[in-house]
Chain A
Amino acid sequence: MTLTADFVIATAVAYVGLLFLVAFLGDRHTRNRQGGFLRSPFVYTLSISVYCTSWTFYGAVGTAARTGLEFTTIYLGPTLVFIGWWFILRRLVRISHDQRITSIADLLSSRFGKSSPLGVLVTILAVIAIAPYIALQLKAVTSSIQAIAGSSEYGHGSIEGWDEVGLAFGVAAGMALFTILFGTRNVDAKEQHHGVVAAIALEAVVKLTALIAVGVFVLYAGGGLENIFTRAAEQGLNIHATETFGDRWIATMLLAASAIICLPRQFQVTVVENSDESHLRTASWAFPAYMLAMSLFIVPIALYGLTTMPEGSNPDMFTLTLPLAAGQEGLALFAFIGGFSSATSMIILESIALSIMVSNHIVVPVMLRFSADDSPGDGLGVRRLILNARRLSILLILFLGFSYFSLTRTSDALAPIGLISFAGVAQFLPAILAALFWRDASTKAAVAGVTIGFIVWFWSSFLPSFASSSPMVAEIMQNGPAGLTWLRPQALFGLDRLDPLAHAVFWSLFLNTTVLIVGSLITSQSALEHVQAAIFLNVARHGSGEPNPLRGSATADDLFLVARRVLGHQRAFDLFREEARQTGTAWTSIEPSPNFIHRLERELAGSIGAASAHVMLSKVVSGGVISLEEVMQMADETQQAIEHSQALERASAQLRATAEKLEVANRQLRLVDQQKDEFLSQVSHEVRTPMTAIRAFSEILLSEDELDQAASRKFISTIHKESLRLTSLLDEILDLSALERGERVWESRPINAEETLDQAMRVCDALARQNRTRMVSGPRASVAIVSADADRLSQVLINLISNAIKYNDAENPEVVIRSRIDGEQYIIEVADNGSGIPEEERGRIFDKFYRGRNGEATSYAGAGLGLPISQQIIARMRGTLELVPKTTVGACFRATLPLAEHEKPSEPEEEARKPASERLRTSA
């Protein structure tokens, strides 16, 4: 059997018939079962691989043969976008589900205030930009048929005499017919085409297995991977040596990454046809894996073709011609079907996607404008119009592709043609990213940015492809328009160092983005833009927190008429009946709630796009504009409220901290206040006792005339004694308060504390004798130089020793005085052998007026100020006075003073002059 053109064409037609059957079954399957196999993540992934067209199947081998690894960028770019699905694709899918987005033009128009002009602009530009891509497919299919026809003597069969253009026209016409039959059978609610997706998935499997089959054949025929590479290297075919990783590498990778988002058909399969967000999860690795599998054999096929095929063979066709040359006709037929699959799937989906854009953004708005009468019609009118518009646009799109093909047919390679389309659709990328991430991007700026980007693309990328067929274009390429050399398409502003593709990508995207950003900064958004921007960002952030763009009143009848015109009687009826059921009213008396109007708008948007749906409903819903303002305000207020509440949270945390500090300070203040009260009452109490005695005795002296001399003398001496006590009490109080406030200033100078101690012992000697107390001088330090005032230190020591004598209740009272030097400290201890200080009193022994039970009992009861004063004095000498804890017998007081030579020379009196309380604070 010899392969002929007739035979492969017949096979192709049969294959198309199979696809049609699959699509038909697929549609029926999903209609009956709500999902099932066709909604699995793998079918979804396979449908995304419509990205791999005949550019991949044939062109990648050609690119590998010409420029080595560069072909991988076309797949690495999308790989990167898919492994980062969480950040861009997920948002796109979520927003599109929520807003019932039907196409990329719909996405941009919807985000930028449901702007019709932007939708129209994007649609027209997409149609123009895709023309080269369609041409690429036509060229690939035509070349593949010709390759088979030329492979044998009788190969041409009935296409004998057809030239390339005629054949391409035939292919285009066939494709148009096929696509119309395929894609415009109905206007679907969400523009989901499960049947088509099923067929596309089948094609994805066919093209992958076909390419792998050819790859395995090549490996087998070439004797293994190493042999193929080695032989190529021996023949001087070193793809390794080409300038791979330069500006072109970066540019193509960027283009491919943006194409996977911006190509209308990719948007269609990835976003619009997505029925479950989690499918994206699987596709995130499965689609890159698919592309990896597609690319694995490209380099071996290219090298094997270059080494074995005759000089001058078209490397783009190696996938087909290698099996043919080896006489493997079955494999060649399979390869042809694989290439045909990749071309048809692309053309079908691309034209469906574009035709949806054309009908929703151009035809329906025009129709709405010219059919001002709201005649009810039969509901089929609009649908029929939409379908016809789509059919026409499919014809138009294929015709444009064919025209481009016939004008540029002299260019030989496939890949550069595809890259022109990629660079064209990449102009949507800045606007899409702004739509997803930037709240302040404005419609005017988006329109201007896309327009500028496209003009630059048209000039520097699209136009040069006609250079071979048009002398005028060639002239412009050479010298610039009208001799303006700085406007030469491939050296704009004199930038001629870059590869032409990188040059076009750089200028178009740079100017596009700049205009978009600067434009958004200097223009302001309309109310609707504002709302839509908020919705898009909120959807991505918190799921759908959308307000209702259209609020206001409309009668159910009006709404029903609109719904029937677009959706058809049955679906409109179902929709209203559902609403009636939910609200529990008779469906003729439905009060259209804002929610219902919004749902209706989304339903309509699923058929005719957001902008048109909005226009249609605005016609019958009154009060829309006012509510828009309201909604905008609401959106703003919400945003502000969120920011506000965050600020409040921060402020309240600060307040809490301050309040805690205040509370602590307050507690201290209350304590101090209480101490002051206690002090006052104690002072009054202490003063009162001698005063009472003085008063009583002087009253007796005044009233009793017959008092004898001795008695009155005794009374007077008591009065004298009491007033002395009173004076000394007042002196002590004054002294203490002066000490506490730091008013007592004395001069500290180095003295021998041992001498002072001896002196104090001598003073107390009389008292000791009087009390029959033995005063024992224990181990003593010989000399201890401390910085102190001798009189004050003596006062403290006398106080300690006399206390020890006075309160000693032992049978054989004894007081031991010891002193020693411990490191830098001089320590004096005064210990007695009395009953000591009970445990519960130890803590309060230094409190003012606290005398303890022993103290109160004895006749020597003082004011209870001796110890506090002593403590203050020692503290001001930078020492400590303490009660030694846990002594076996009696009480032991210990005064510790720093030795003079170890004292810090600085801050001598400053510190000492401060009140004790203040010092506590500074040291804390």
Chain B
Amino acid sequence: MSAVIAEGTQTVNMLTAIKQALFEEMEREPGMVCIGEDIGILGGAFGVTEGLQDRFGAERVIDAPISEALIVGAAVGMSMRGRPVMAEMQFIDFISCGFDQIVNNAATMHYRTAGKVSLPMVIRGPSGGYGGGGPYHSQQNEAWFAHSPGLRVVCPSTPSDAYGLLKTCLRDNNPCIFYEVKELYRKREIEEQIPGGDYTVPLGKARIAREGSDLTFVTYGNMVYFCLEAAVKLAEEGIEAEIIDLRSLVPLDDEAILNSIKKTNRVIAVNEAPMTCGFAGEILARVNEYAFEYLDAPPARVTRTDTPVPWVKPLELAVLPSVDDIYEAAKRAVNY
């Protein structure tokens, strides 16, 4: 296996980890194809696929026209014949243009054919706010797809997880929506060494990002770091927060959530997406169903306000969750 980008002991950022996983899987699966806007000649808007076309050729790394429905539909056609496909959405916001092909076609194919047709395809793209992207370059729209049975929905927060989960999803046999938080792509502080060997991360297995005994944050993606910051503040006051980084939303690690609540008896669900019908709401609904008797405080959520993401900084920060929002929610739970 070629370690083309990072050598064994080198620490890498999340973007490089994702790139490395793509190169390795393209090498490993001579049939695998990548398709997306500007992924070939340019190497992707963020450079995730830089060098991929030079290495594997234009037939396997397709520069698609600006046609998300075509990109997804063609991925369905290729993968239904057994060919693994990575389809890139230039920004995950643009996935709405391919929505029908995803939720009505790809998501339901295995079901509709009573298990005869499987689709080994991953749709991945950069997501999330805090970068001044405005309404169409800032979304975390994972709830749309978690609500469409038949799709894996994944959102890693560390380079190793991004690497290991992308590999797992590319080797899975189901359509997967893979969220890459673009604010984390090049974040220095989270650079790390990717475990050697053929490292993969299982779907449906959460990671405990911080251990604690007083309350549980259930979150994923960029919010993991917001919760970590809030936890530092809380620890100064002697409050120890546990942080569950879900990593994959579908399938969901209910057991990890339950076990943590049994220990802490308090839970705050945090997502960057809007509140109504967001994934934090789903977590709280489940907590009410299976962990109600362990709770010492009302379960709460911290989310974006139910507004679009505005462009300029004061407006953007006003609607997105902040460390303070999370800290205050935690304090309310602890003081209940």
> Do A and B associate with each other?
no
Interface residues of B (CB under 8 A from A): none
